[in-house]
Amino acid sequence: MKKIFISMLLSFMLFSATSSANQGLAFIHGTGNQTDAYNDYWTGSFVNSVRQGLNNPSKYTVINCDFDQFMWKSQAAGCLAQQLTTFITDQNITELVLLTHSNGGNIVRWVLSNPTYDSRYPNIINKISKVIAIAPSSLGTPLADAVNQGNAFIRSLSWILGYGSDAVKQQQVSWMNYYNQNWLLGTAGRPNLPVPFKTIIGSDVESAIWDGDSYCAGYQYQVALETTQNWLDSCSDGFLNCSSQRGAGSVWFTDKQRTAGREPLSHQQSRRDCFNLDTIIKNDI
């Protein structure tokens, strides 16, 4: 009887500790100067599905910052720090999940790796329970190199790359190698990040006109990303090699391992509610 009582007491204490956490979720976009990332980057259907994984689905924020800048700039990491600080304070958040996409993962890694750089960083880091990084550009991309070398075709893909921005320069392979070796944590040979950094890997692009799955998130983007794969490895999402996406933190899963129909996720599709991605993330939160 005594053992049963102790077991019940421990269960109650565990439940109370879990339920008392005021959980929050932040959606952090990739490269670009966003003013309405809810609609223009993620779409409401993705955001409103994923946030249902929260204890209170209203406790979320969608970040809007100028991620065309170098990651440490006030318009980038500084803007992110301020918006997260405001969210944490206004909503009394005690446990924060960050959901990032693409270059957003690098901005977050800058904050996590340099806690003394900004007085707002430590409080944010202490609140983060995990980062879910979708297709992070942790090791950069050859496409950024091609843009900065003036390739005419790649320059036309401003919808995904931008052109001439510091963020694109930053994502050149050799530049990211320097940052990873000197300023950022979480890559091979470097100390671990202070919180879990779980990555989702996009491994291919499909654009067959007869395949209905090619139309999720916009068929025209699939066609463009299929073309940019000519500059990338066979395992890539049309913007990033799989090796870059795996470069920091730990791999949670590669698309086909969990997506509906074992469909691959292109770089465009991995920020949309394609192939059950939103539900997979919601259930993890």
pLDDT in tens, 158-201: 555 555 789 999 999 999 999 999 999 999 999 999 999 999 99
**Per-residue confidence band for 156, with pLDDT thresholds at 50, 70 and 90:** low
How distant, in Å, are the alpha carbons of 95, 122, 174, 267 from that of 264? 31, 37, 28, 10
Higher pLDDT: 14 or 248? It is 248
Q: From CA 227, how far away is CA 229, in angstroms rounded?
A: 5
pTM to 2 decimal places? 0.91
Per-residue tokens: 117: 């750089």
Between 107 and 151, the higher pLDDT residue:
107
Q: Which domains does the chain show, CATH number per domain?
A: 23-284 (3.40.50.1820)
Residue 231 confidence (pLDDT): 86
- Percent of the chain residues past pLDDT 70, beyond the cut: 88
Contact 76, 29 (CB under 8 A): no
pLDDT digits (tens, 9 = 90+) for 55-89: 999 999 999 999 999 999 999 999 999 999 999 99
Determine the pLDDT at residue 93: 98
The predicted pLDDT at position 148 comes to 78
Give the C-alpha distances (Å, rounded to integers) separating 50 from 27, 59, 126, 191, 240.
10, 12, 23, 31, 24
What is the 3-state secondary structure of the chain?
A: CHHHHHHHHHHHHHHHHHHHCCEEEEEECCCCECCCHHHHHHCHHHHHHHHHHCCCCCCEEECCCECCCCCCCHHHHHHHHHHHHHHHHHHCCCEEEEEEECCHHHHHHHHHHCCCCCCCHHHHHHHEEEEEEECCCCCCCHHHHHHHCCCHHHHCCHHHHCCCCHHHHHCCHHHHHHHHHHCCCCECCCCCCCCCEEEEECCCCCCCCCCHHHHCCCHHHHHHHHHHHHHCCCCECCCCEHHHHCCECEEEEEHHHCCHHHCCCCCCHHHCCCCCHHHHHHHHC
Task: Return the pLDDT at 157.
Answer: 59
- How large is the average pLDDT for residues 100-106? 98
Of the pLDDT bands very low, low, confident and very high (cuts 50, 70, 90), residue 260 is: very high
